[in-house]
Copies of this chain bind each other. A is one copy, B any other.
Amino acid sequence: MNTDIQILDMPLDINACINWVMAPECGGIDVFIGTVRNHTKGKSVLRLEFEAYERMALKEMDKIAKEMLQCWPLHKIAMHHRVGILGVGEVPVVIAVSAAHRDAAFDACRYAIDTLKETVPIWKKEIFEDGEVWVAAHP
């Protein structure tokens, strides 16, 4: 099995993702780590709340990984997404991709996070001092 896809309600283990994709036949690993930013559109963010339609989200993440393996000569893919309440600086997502050559790792990793943000049924609510908002819900 060359994909490790998980939705977790505890802190993500970046190291575990990197170690899992690392292999003697690889020359490069690209890792994307999402972090909770302390502000958005000029407003201070206190925390984020992530919710997933878990079974479907895992399926959609799995589709992304399959597409990546079809499009690029990759070795392994780890894609972990966290749910629950996250404070500023915490890590909602880690995607690690290993390949014999770095171009494939970079392209595939970027494709993964771009596509995850478009298709995977996970939602985040930004919590401010004076209210909260589901991101992207309204035009």
Chain A contact residues, CB within 8 Å of chain B: 14-15, 18, 22-39, 88-89, 98, 100, 102, 105-106, 109-110, 113
Contacts and interface: CB of A to CB of B under 8 A. Distances in A.
Counting every copy of the chain, the complex holds 2
A35 B30 contact: no
Given A15-B14, A23-B89, A89-B23, A31 B33 contact: yes
Given A14-B18, A18-B14, A89-B24, A106 B37 contact: no
A30, A98, A109: which has the most chain B beta carbons within 10 Å? A30
B33 A18 contact: yes
Contact of A33 (B28, B32, B100): B28
A19 B39 CA distance: 20
Nearest to A32: B30
A24 B44 CA distance: 11
A102 B113 contact: yes
Contacts of A98: 35
Contacts of A38: 24-25
Nearest to A93: B28
